[in-house]
Amino acid sequence: MKILITGGCGFIGSNLIRILNNNGFKEICVVDDLSKGELSYIEGSIISEFYQRDIRDYNELSVCFQGVDIVIHLAAYGSVVESIDEPQQNFDINTAGTLNILRQSIANNVTKVIFASTGGALIGNADPPVSESSVPRPISPYGASKLACEGYCCAFSHSYNVDITSLRFANVVGPTSYHKKGAVTAFLKAVINKNPIEIYGDGTATRDFLHVDDLCNGILLALKSKKHGYSVYHLASGQQTSVIELASEVIKVTGGKHQEIIYHKKRVGEVEKNFATYDLAKTELGFKPKYSLQDAILDTYGSFLQWKK
C-alpha cells in the first residue's frame, strides 16, 4: 500500500509519518512546498519519495500520484487571523489546492482520500459540544475554505465513487510545532523567552485541545476503516479548556510562577466557545484519546527546549 501525505514535513505530517512507520507502513510519499514545514522534522523516518511541490499547481502534482493507493491531505493555510488578512491566498491554497488533490486522486485511481478539516472554525459560533450534526456557519475565511473543501470531498465521493473521509481536527498540541501560531505554542514561547503571555479577549474563550499522537492514531483508524462512500468525523478530546486555564496549565508545567499575563482586544474571526464530542468516531472508528492536556503541554515544552538548543 502506497500512501501520499501532503504537508508531510509539517507538525501533524511529521508525527503522522512516525505513527505510520511504527504501524508497519513504510511506502510513504511526502509532498510539501517547505513554506512552513522542514525536512529536519522527518529525519529518521522511513519514506519512499519526497517531492517539493505546491498543491496550487495541478500539473506539478501529477508525478507525485503515480502508484498511490491512499492520500492523506494535510497541506493547508491554517491560520484564522492570517485568512482574514489574506482571504484570496487562503482560498487558493485550501480550496483550489484541495480541488487539485481530488482531481489528481481521481485521475490516478486512488482508492481512499483522508482530508484534514477543522471543527471550531468550520462550525463557527455554536453551542458546544458540537458534533457531525451541527450546522456549519464559519465566521472566518479559513473556516469557510474548510467547509468548501468538505463540500468538494462529498461531491467527488458521490460523483466518482471514491471513499473520502473528512476528519475535523480539534486544536492539536505536541512536538515539532515550534513554527505554529496556536495558543499553546505562543504561550510556551513566551515563557521560554521570558516574555508576557498575551491573551486576546478576556480569557474565557474555550477550545478543545488534542495531543498530536491521539490525532494521528485517529487518522490511522480512518485509514484502516472499511467504510465506503463519504464520512465525516470529529477527532477531539471532548473537553473544553478556557484560554486562561490553558495559560495557567502552561505556567504550572513550565514552572513560570511569576509569569506576566497581558490582555488584548478579542480578534475578529475567532470562535468564542468550542469543543466537540467524538462519539461517532468512537463508535465507527474505535477512536478514544488517551493523553491529557498536561501530557500534551509537557511533550510540547520538552520539544521546544530541544529546538532552542
Residues marked as catalytic = 142
3-state secondary structure of 173: strand
Of 129, 101, 256, 134, the closest CA to residue 192 belongs to 256
d(CA 210, CA 175): 12
Question: What is the distance between the alpha carbons of residues 180 and 184, in angstroms, rounded to a whole number?
Answer: 9
The C-alpha cell at 28 is 510513504
Which residues lie closer than 8 Å to 22 by C-beta, 6 or more apart? none
Q: What is the DSSP letter of 260?
A: -
Q: How many CB atoms lie within 10 A of CB 76?
A: 25
The rounded distance, in Å, linking the Cα atoms of 218 and 7 is 17
Q: Side chain identity at 241, as an amino acid letter?
A: T
Longest dimension (CA), the chain: 58
3-class state of residue 92 by DSSP = helix
- Rounded distance between C-alpha atoms, residue 284 and residue 16, angstroms: 21
Could you give the CA distance from residue 161 to residue 112 in angstroms, rounded to a whole number? 10
Contact 74, 15 (CB under 8 A): no
What SS3 state is found at 206?
strand
241 DSSP β-pair partners: 207
The C-alpha cell at 70 is 491512499
H or E element that contains 261: strand 261-264
